[in-house]
Structure 1
Amino acid sequence: MEFILPLIIGLVIGAIVVYFVSAGQRKALVADGQTKDTTTKAQAESMIAEAKLKSEKTIAAAELKAEKTFSEFKDKQEVFKKEKIKESRDKFQRFKDEFKQEKAEELVELKEKRQSLREEAESMKAERAGFNTERDEINKQQKSLLQEEQRLTQRNKKLDEEIATAQQKQDELDTQHEKFSSELERISNLTADEAKARLLEDVRQKTTNEALNLKRHLLEEAHAEAAKDARKIIINTIQRIGAAETIENTVSTFALDSDNVKGQIIGREGRNIRAIETATGCELVVDDTPETIVISSFDPIRREIARLSLKRLVTDGRIHPARVEEVVNKVKKEMNNQIVEIGKKTVVELDIHGLPQDLVRYVGRMRFRSSYGQNLLRHSIETAHLCATMAAEMGMSKKNIKLAKRAGLLHDIGKVADEDTELSHALYGMQIAEKHKENPMVINAIGAHHDEIEMNNILSHIIQACDAISGARPGARREVLDGYINRIKELEEIAVKNPGVASAFAMQAGRELRVMVEADEVSDQHAEELSFKISQEIQESMQYPGQIKVMVIREKRAVNFAR
């Protein structure tokens, strides 16, 4: 619409211009006709027609231009209209989408509120039901209380009547007591106070005797209970330890691939074997035993050095005195390194931290020492485990459990001393521990485990007990095999000869005897008596280290078959 008004104004102005131009031409022609007689009327009309034609052309051109302008305006108007329509539609669609989104959000919120209201309604319904249940329960309780109150009221009335009757009887008894006291005073020639004092003295003496008997009985029970708990702790500790025993001897054997090597080992006029014995400190026995050389020495480290040296010499094939000394010296150095590695491995396996290097070396040397045929390192490791287990059974702290394990490992380090000493191994081991600034509890436990010094802490008692368990229990140290087997067999025979015994088995290297009895022939009470009887027979007829647990097992089995 904004283009129409300028177009109309342009058309009007064009028409006015054409009109005035044609009018001016006419006036000019009239004036010329009046002033010039030579101009003819035909020429004037011709000029007027020409001017009219020009004006019509101008008007036609203006109309054509106006129509063209109007058409362009119309096209632009149509495009503008379409754009506005599209913009309006987009705006409407955007408003519509926003409205839908708002409605959707409102719908979701409405659903959530509806769900929340439904849940609240259900919760209120449940609460109302619970309240009704509680109300019913309260009503029942009130009813029960009312009944109880009525019953108590009736009982109080009855008690009042009984109290009145009892008071009446008490009055009668008081009267009779006064008569009886008067009669007693008359018969015994004693006043009531004198009789009372004599009675109190009798009661005091009797009470004193009973108190002493009770005290003695309680002490006996306490000692028995303490001993029972101690045995239980020791038994549980032993059962939780599974140890492998290694029996060491004073000889080692070295296997040969061929007897021809024996001649090389002996050497010309025996110089090679003498060189080996001199370098290692061991005696080599070369006899008729096929493909075997016996190495004899009380020192296991020397025997191991001799064995390894022989192995290298035989493998190398060069056996002469100079080579023997070279190999033995080299093996000794490697042996020292091996001892340290064994000590480190043992310490790591036991999870013991901060052990000085010298003590680690002592621990490694234990591998090549034995005590009554029991390997010293295995004994120390087993004692360490036993100490930690027993400390745990007694409810000690983690710190004390670690100290117990440490003391158990080090309690026999005096047996692997580098130098000879007149002190016992316990006291010398205590000196070594003091030198390396061990914990005072560990030092006392090492020195006191054979009662050579006074024990000042519970750890020392644990070390002594566990050392005895590891060394004195059946099968731990060297025994004659036939005697050991006979003792195990005798244990089972003692149990089987009792009536009602179905079978007996010696377990845990003879530390436990399990006796299976017939359920129909032996009752539970008889089973306890049988266990005590068998233990007494073992004590009277056998000799054994440590203690033996006798367990009588009674089972009742019912078996049927479905066919």
Structure 2
Amino acid sequence: MGNIIVIVITAFVASVAGYILRLVYAKLNIRSAEQTSKRIAEEAWLIAETKSKGILLDARLAVDRERKEFEHKIKERRQSVQNMENRLNQREENLDRRIDAIDKKEKDLSGREKDFSSKEHLLSVKFSEIDKIKEEQKKILEKNSGLAREEAKKILMSAMEEDAKKSSADLLQRLEQETHETADKKAKEILSIAIQRIAAEHTADTTTSTVQISNDEIKGRIIGREGRNIRAFEQLTGVDLIVDDTPEAITISAFDGVRRQIAKIALERLIADGRIHPARIEEVVEKVKRDMEQHLKETGEQAAIEAGVPCSNFEIIRLLGKLKYRTSYGQNQLQHTLEVTWLAGAIAGELGLDVMFCKKAALLHDIGKAVDHEVEGTHYQISADIAKKYGESPKMVNAILSHHEGFAVPSSPEAFVIATADTISAARPGARKESVGRYLKRLEKLEKVVKEFNGVSIAYAMQAGREVRILVEPKKVDDNQTQILAHDIAKKVEQELEYPGHIKITVVRETRAQEIAK
């Protein structure tokens, strides 16, 4: 019994093996596989018949069942092989089409190559003609100039060498001038600069004043019939009077703080008096102007006393008084001047410098702001001109002119003290103000302008917009080009941006070398 089962299993395995072989060679050996299957079935049947007819019958049934399954699988495999053959035929057709297209492209490329060869030959002929023309021109130049090529080259190189020597000499002289200082003076400068580094400027001016009124009926009286009262008032005071829907308030607008204060006092007196007409307006305005002159004189004298700096010049005293009504980025200018005076005196005392000189220079350093709306020029230039006009020393003029870094070279340690004190007063918390929106837009625009330059990788606005630090790509910008790039960026920032004070341009180039240790 066991042998029959083994024989049956052997017959099944043989049929499966024939099935696998037929999968590989299905199309060519199908008939041979069927004969082999029949032979195996007949041998199994003969062997099984000698043992038992019942077992033979079971084996025959099993073989029939296996054959049917095998035939079904053969049919499926035939269909799969047919599908594969169809796909192969389709791919073969696609490959034929692609080969045809490639052949066509090769023909086109071959034609283009011939065209390029002809053009290359034509270019070589043109280049040779150009070389000939150059040689002829050189001969003509040599003939006209009376110099041989080598002689002209020597003259040109000699001139370039002289220019290079001159440039290097100027650079060497400038570097020596910056570094050749005594140890005591250098220590004082370092201390001054260290204090100065806390600086940060960002604010906005105040250009309006408000006069409170008891009721809105007064607005009509201020305007007058056909606007004659308000026109007379604006003409006499030099301000803009804004009478709008704001309840119980009138706005006075002017960039000149003194005129704005005169207009405010005059308007308050007219409202309190009740008589508002052109003649009365002229009378009140003239009276307020005389009072204001006296007030400016008293304010200037009081400021000089508080600063501890004796001053007898009436014009300087008057200009100091006018600083009371001048604001710079929201900071009262007279208060700022007094703070700078006190700071300069304290720093000069610590450094062992001329305290009285520093106080006087600090008192005069921004005096030009009292008349900068009347005189052309920057406030530090106007301040220096005023000091020079009234007999101050060149050292004093330099200290005033150089209190903003970059506009003049300080010639004394006292000049560094004035710049330091001015920066500290402007940068102390709460001294100045600016709207966050304007501040952020200014920084964004600054970074955007810098990033437009080729080779700039990253740009950061720092120190509240007073410095922009630029990182460049080392492959695009070498060490010699960093100074040129900084100069070009500074020029573009000056042309396209509006900003208080000054902006330092710092270009950083970093070179990195990397290797892997194995």
TM class by shorter-chain length? 0.3 to 0.5
Larger radius of gyration: 1
- TM-score with structure 2 setting the length: 0.46
Task: Compute the TM-score of the two structures, normalised by the length of structure 1.
Answer: 0.42
Higher RCO by CA contacts (8 Å cutoff, separation 6 or greater)? 2
